[in-house]
Each structure stands twice: as C-alpha cells, then as structure tokens.
Structure 1
C-alpha cells in the first residue's frame, strides 16, 4: 500500500489530481469545521490536509505514506478503543489491502458519537470507466462501490449521516479540457447526481443501548404545583384572619 499511496500523492500534482484535491479539500473544510472534540486523526495522504479547518487541540497524520507522523498499518491502528473524536479516510479504502478491516479499526478507535469522513473513487462514473483502459495509479485502486461501503458501515453499526458526489468533469489530464468542462459540475449534480468521480460520506458511530438521559419534567412539575397550592392556602387563611 505504501508505494501505491505515494504514487497517488505524486499524481495529485497533475492537473487532474489538482482538480480532485481542490474539490475534496473544499468538502472536508466544510465538514470538519463543525466537528468538535479533543482528538482528530487523518489516515494516509498528508498531501491533502483534511483537518486544516478543524479546531481540535490534537490533530495528527497516521499511516505508511511519506509525511505521516505516526507510522502504522491502516488495519492495525496504535490507539486504544474509543480514543478518537474524528477520523478521516481520504481514499484510504481505495488503496488498503483489506478495506473492511480498516473500517473495523475505525469503529474500534472512535468514541461514541465520533465522526468518520470517507472519500473514495466511484466505479459507476466516467472515472470508473477510465479503469478499463488504464493500469496505473490511481485507476487500478479498489474503487469500492458506494452500496458496498454502505453495507459494510451497517454491519459495524456506523450510521451514514449524509453523502455527496464530486468531480463530474471527465478524467482528462489536459487543463484546457478540464476548464472547458467546468459546466458539467452543475449539470452533473442536477441530472446525474450519483455519477461524480468521487463520493464523500459522513458517518457517526452509534452505540447500542446508549440512551440520552433527560429530566422527568412531569415528575418535577408536581412539587411546583403543590408549592403553589400551599402558598394560595396560606394567603386565603391570612385573609380570613384579617376579617375576624
């Protein structure tokens, strides 16, 4: 995985790679700025800083790619259970040896109600079709289908909150063609909403049997009514005493 991720990081410097990086960076910025807690971690691809808009006091990059601060396998994270408030996986599943094992680790290390942000290549898109004629990075990554990812998340009790598709322009390396096809962003989102080259999902970890304890307002209201009745009784008794 290390070599593939490093090649993908280098590919991000190409015109098509920059288009993808800018599109995903905008999505990540909009999501992480409203997620709060103490510890946030990005797994792989430090060249795309997905946590730059987040304000948690502890933020780190982990994985095997060059530039990561914590060296580890994505399938075996060196963190205790329920220790992270936010975990970001930018195309991590696309290049992992066992994508489902990575998700199991994500579920293990996330706090209850912790957030998981994932981006991946959409096989049901023009970008997915490019895989049929290309054998280099990133076209020969896993391209985990959105419906398969949804099934994996459900098995792990990870609840999908919302999702989006990005990168509707054709996967061409010529900047001129990318600029000319800018109109496809709005057209694709309107007429082919699931056809973007990249999907983005926001997930929350739910814990079974965990209930939010709320005050028993009915029980609390009873003494208040009793106290009001007692005050009224004292007032009426005082008026009677004055009339004697």
Structure 2
C-alpha cells in the first residue's frame, strides 16, 4: 500500500467546501434526488472499470455492477473513508491510461474546478470508445442560481462562493467539441433555496409541478454522454477485462467492491 502525500491538490480545494453544505436540509434533498437518478442511469451500464471523480460523500456507483470501481478525490482524508479503490490526484491530470475506463461520473466537479475544460479533456482521454460520462451540475437558470448570484452581492452565500454554475447549453458545446454525444438528461430540485426542513416540506409540491410545467428551470441537472470515435464501428463488448492501474497517488487498493 502506498503512503499518500499529506498536502492537498490546490486546484480542487474549493469542491471540499461542498461537503458541509450536503449535510444541510437543502443539501440532503439535492443529494437524495441525484442519488436516485444516478442509480437508475448506472444500473445498466456494463464494462469493467468505472470511475467517480470527486465528491466522496455521494456513492454515485453504488447501483453499478462493474467489478472495479475507482473513487478519485483531490482531498486525501475523505477518500480514505470510501469503500472502493481510491486514488488522490489533481483532477486535471487523471492518473489512468488512455482509453482504459468504461464509465466516468463527475458529480459537481466542473463548477468547482479551476480548469473545467481540462478536466473534460482528461475524461475524454481515459474513456474507451463508446465509453460514457455522467455529469451532475447546478443550473444557473434556476431559483438556486439566482440565489447564488445575489449572495455574491450581499455576502450571504447559498453555496460555496467559488462555485461557477455552468449552463446546460454551454456544457453541451464543450462535450460536442470533444466528440461526446449527449443521449440523456434530467432536471430536478425545483424547490426554492430553503434552509429548513419545514419549508422544504411546504414547497414539496413544486417538484412535481416543476417537472411538468417548467422542466428546464430545475436547480440541478444530470447529463449522460457517449464518447464517439469517427470511423470506428464496435462489434460486441468493447471493455477491457483487466483492471486498470493508477499511475500515481494511490491511497488504497481495496478491490473488494460490492
């Protein structure tokens, strides 16, 4: 077992601040919605190597059945508690071989990353042809996005102040430039940015109403995309039947997943 370095990767420090927010009523509400959608999306994605980048508080791969599941995190202490193979690294330089991963999940990584384009480029590099990426993000065209903007003016931040919301059209443009084709997406969390359970329950009706009447204004979105390689036609399973190896920064190598 390798001994991790004690310092944190500076480019990913800001996402660590999201952890305490997830313990609040509104944070737990968002996490529960995203967990349910991720379980549905990942349950039928097959392959051999699956990778979750960041946000160890969420078990994004718990419904997936790939034999090797990796959790990578820029903050070593949180990663050590995960029941997966875990690696500490800089998100803009993934320690995995090119075309070695079948599935990558990015739960709220891009809006907290100093180099979101580079993170996506690295994801595209490590994905196999026809590999899939699932991205969770905050929607700027929502009540939460408005609250985040006004909080910067007043100083009363709703989310960590370093969060930069990325609109869905903008994200789709980034993915298109990397030859990643969006094939599925969901909006959710339509309640106002409440701070107590009491008000969350009072506005619970907005979840169903929002999904029907103003679906594009949910506070969060989940996007699933497939890596397309021009001129390549896959016949049969394309996944590698050997576990990938991390090139650097290994924190633990517990292979008893699920």
TM-score (norm: length of structure 2): 0.80
The one of 19, 23, 28 aligned to 1:13: 23
1:163 Cα offset (Å): 0.6
What residue number does 2:216 align with? 194
What residue number does 1:239 align with? none
1:139 Cα offset (Å): 5.2
CA contact (8 A) 2:56 2:73 kept: no
What residue number does 1:67 align with? 78
CA contact (8 A) 1:16 1:171 kept: yes
What residue number does 1:160 align with? 182
Any residues of structure 2 matched to 1:91-170 within 5 Å, and which?
91-135=108-152, 136=157, 137-138=159-160, 140-170=162-192
What residue number does 1:224 align with? none
1:132 Cα offset (Å): 2.2
Deviations 1:27-55 (A, max 9, x none): 10001110000000100001011001111
**Structure with more contact order per residue of length (Cα contacts < 8 Å, sep ≥ 6):** 2
1:7 Cα offset (Å): 1.4
The one of 38, 46, 50 aligned to 1:40: 50
Higher mean C-alpha displacement, 139-148 vs 23-32: 139-148
CA contact (8 A) 2:13 2:74 kept: no
Higher mean C-alpha displacement, 117-126 vs 129-138: 129-138
* Alignment gaps of 5+ in structure 1: 215-244
Q: Output the CA distance in 2 between the equivalents of 1:29 and 1:142.
A: 26
Deviations 1:117-161 (A, max 9, x none): 001000000011011222443354010111110000000000001
1:67 Cα offset (Å): 2.0
Q: Output the CA distance in 2 between the equivalents of 1:87 and 1:20.
A: 20
Question: How many corresponding residue pairs?
Answer: 214
Deviations 1:47-95 (A, max 9, x none): 0110011110000110203422211111100011100000000001011
Higher mean C-alpha displacement, 133-142 vs 51-60: 133-142
- State the superposition RMSD in angstroms: 1.4
What residue number does 1:31 align with? 41
Q: Output the CA distance in 2 between the equivalents of 1:59 and 1:169.
A: 33
CA contact (8 A) 2:12 2:114 kept: no
The structure with the largest alpha-carbon Rg is: 1
Q: Output the CA distance in 1 between the equivalents of 2:132 and 2:203.
A: 34
> Which structure shows the higher helix fraction?
1
The one of 93, 102, 126 aligned to 1:76: 93
Could you say if the C-alpha distance between residues 142 and 88 of structure 1 is closer, same or farther in structure 2, counting changes exceeding 3 Å? same
What residue number does 1:174 align with? 196
CA contact (8 A) 2:140 2:146 kept: yes
